[in-house]
Homo-oligomer: A and B are copies of this chain.
Amino acid sequence: MSRVDLPAEIPTIKCEGMERVGTAADLTYQHVMDARKRIEPYVHYTSVLTSSYLNKRIGAELFFKCENFQKAGAFKVRGACNAVFGLSDLEAQSGVATHSSGNHALSLSYAAGRRGIPCHVVMPRTAPQAKKDAVTGYGGLITECEPSTSSREAVFGQLQAQTGSEFVHPYNDPRVIAGQATCSAELLEQVEKLDAIIAPIGGGGMISGTCLTLSNLAPHIKIYAAEPLQADDAARSFRAGHIIADDAPNTIADGLKVPLKENTWHFVSHFVSDILTASEEEIVEAMKLTWQRLKIVMEPSCAVPLAVILKHPKIFRSKRVGVIVTGGNVDLDSLPWMS
């Protein structure tokens, strides 16, 4: 798969308090190093696990970077902390805000809590109570909206006008991408001579961070993105050469339903070797296999990389492959192989 062109227009992203970064294309490895220093007191340097069973079965060496053990249960806390702790005191005063009912909301709430500033989260009133409880458990302040994009945007706009809070997008933000990039920077320290790194792709924040690190430190390491077949907008975008959004993505890997945006598209289109997909059945099988063999609790999204490795063994055979396990926030009362 050849690389495609950068779209003509990338919008300017506000990034005050820390170094100013206009667009994702302006990010350098210095931003990653700054992020590491900035977030180091608030995040875990996560473990890497291996399974000789899986290695033997696949004929490769897999190194699982366990962001499910991360603070707030997911890699997203890296980007959230980088954004929150990169604000000037003046900017931070009014707090931060986002719209998410997933790991970014938890992570931003966690980061804001560590800094002692408010975190406003707009969530549909129909979101599961468990998700609302998780956000409030990390100190987030929920404002409910109706379950529609128009209501969410209206409520979010009103909230920002009232609070003056800083919007931190879950992934389309250079500060967030620089934060996520710290994950692969650690992995390069932990595992020598990697041939490839593979991570799930939804909005593309983790993949973009991985591209940022590897394109600077180890451009010979291939970067693969793994996506559910039933939410394959990134794979289709990659092949088309421009962002295509899914109409109604429907996958068990619910963290991966969101579309690429300009800043993540920059990295995906320039630095990713390929985007591979797996079916729902393959994802569930890989998820159960990881729980059984690695003895870790992880989200369905994290199983997509192993699912595509099992599906495309030739690509990975005899290779040393880093696999980013993105998060562990899963409902233990409804596991997919139990239904």
Contact = CB atoms under 8 A, between A and B. Distances in A.
A273 interface: no
Contacts of A337: 332-333
Contacts of A71: 52
Contact of A288 (B292, B295, B332, B338): B332
A308 to B, nearest CB: 22
A49 to B, nearest CB: 6
Contacts of A332: 288, 291-292, 335, 337
A200 to B, nearest CB: 16
A296 interface: yes
Given A49-B69, A332-B337, A337-B333, A295 B296 contact: yes
A68 B295 contact: yes
A135 interface: no
Nearest to A69: B295
A129 to B, nearest CB: 16
A184 B163 CA distance: 52
Given A288-B332, A292-B297, A332-B335, 8 more contacts: A47-B47, A47-B49, A69-B294, A291-B332, A295-B298, A296-B296, A296-B297, A333-B337
Nearest to A328: B295
Interface of A: 47, 49, 52, 66, 68-69, 71, 73, 288, 291-292, 294-298, 328, 332-333, 335, 337-338
Nearest to A50: B44
A73 B297 contact: no
Nearest to A290: B297
Contacts of A294: 69
28 contacts: A47-B47, A47-B49, A49-B69, A52-B71, A66-B295, A68-B295, A69-B294, A69-B295, A73-B295, A288-B332, A291-B297, A291-B332, A292-B297, A292-B332, A295-B296, A295-B297, A295-B298, A295-B328, A296-B296, A296-B297, A297-B297, A332-B335, A332-B337, A333-B337, A333-B338, A335-B335, A335-B338, A338-B338
Contacts of A292: 297, 332
A2 B296 CA distance: 39
A45 to B, nearest CB: 11
A294 to B, nearest CB: 8
Contacts of A291: 297, 332
Which of A52, A68, A292 gathers most chain B CB within 10 Å?
Answer: A292
With a 10 A CB-CB cut-off, give which of A291, A295, A328, A332 has the most chain B CB atoms. Answer: A295
A326 to B, nearest CB: 12
A332 B73 CA distance: 21
A292 B338 CA distance: 17
Contacts of A298: 295
A292 B297 CA distance: 8
Counting from the closest, the 10 A-B pairs by CB-CB distance are A295-B328, A295-B297, A68-B295, A47-B47, A291-B297, A291-B332, A69-B295, A296-B296, A297-B297, A338-B338
Nearest to A137: B53
A73 B69 CA distance: 19
